[in-house]
């Protein structure tokens, strides 16, 4: 990166299918959400990567992908995900072979507490003042059709999902 004069590494460190970032306060995330115990970044791994980059003039900005791409997070904390079914029937995933639970539930207080605490833990590992929150490829129809979300946002149509995302990101 340094040779090509690139000075920021945007590290997409977690995603829908795997949570490989070990956080001391949340050991179940990697125990339940990583591909395997061998596919985990320890705090020492992260510090080593960040220091290696720093010595080359490169910042490392982690991405905690939210509110979508959170199936792996849900393996440790299933109550924070919104049920999302292709036919409104449990077991029919909206994305074929992917999750029928993969988007955070914006109506639960625990969702916000969890994200806040995850960010606090991530900040301990990454010295950069920025953390990317993802916010892409959110399957908004999940929020529109989920009973918990629609009851709390009765007047929001699928085309108005930005209002929910703004509420979530506050």
**Residue 149 domain flag:** yes
Which pLDDT tens digit goes with each residue over 23-33? 999 999 999 99
> What confidence score (pLDDT) does residue 150 get?
58
Which of residues 161 and 25 earns the better pLDDT score? 25
Catalytic, out of 24, 44, 51, 137 = 137
Is the confidence at residue 113, as pLDDT, over 90? yes
Is 1 domain-assigned?
no
Task: Answer yes or no: 44 catalytic.
Answer: no
Q: What is the pLDDT of residue 57?
A: 97
Tell me whether residue 116 is in a domain.
Answer: yes
Average pLDDT over residues 11-39: 95
Share of the chain above pLDDT 90, in %: 55
Number of neighbours of residue 125 by Cβ within 10 angstroms: 21
pLDDT at 41 exceeding the cut of 60:
yes
Structural domain boundaries enclosing 123:
8-169
The CATH number linked to 83 is 3.20.20.80
pLDDT confidence tier of residue 35, bands split at 50, 70 and 90: very high
Q: What is the pLDDT of residue 135?
A: 84
| Residue 161 falls inside a structural domain | yes
Domain annotation covers residue 2: no
Q: How many domains does the chain have?
A: 1
């Amino acid at each position: 990166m340094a040779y090509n004069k690139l000075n920021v590494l945007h590290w997409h460190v977690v995603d829908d299918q795997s949570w490989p970032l070990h956080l001391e306060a949340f050991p179940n995330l990697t125990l339940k959400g990583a591909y395997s115990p061998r596919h985990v970044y320890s705090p020492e791994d992260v510090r080593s990567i960040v220091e290696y980059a720093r010595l080359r003039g490169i910042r490392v900005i982690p991405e905690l992908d939210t509110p979508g791409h959170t199936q792996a997070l849900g393996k440790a904390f299933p109550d924070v995900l919104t049920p999302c079914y292709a036919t409104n029937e449990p077991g029919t995933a909206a994305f074929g072979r992917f999750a029928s639970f993969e988007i955070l539930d914006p109506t639960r207080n625990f969702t916000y507490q969890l994200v806040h605490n995850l960010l606090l833990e991530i900040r301990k590992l990454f010295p950069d003042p920025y953390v990317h929150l993802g916010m892409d490829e959110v399957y908004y129809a999940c929020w529109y059709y989920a009973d918990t979300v629609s009851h709390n946002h009765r007047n929001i149509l699928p085309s108005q999902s930005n209002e929910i995302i703004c509420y979530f990101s506050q």
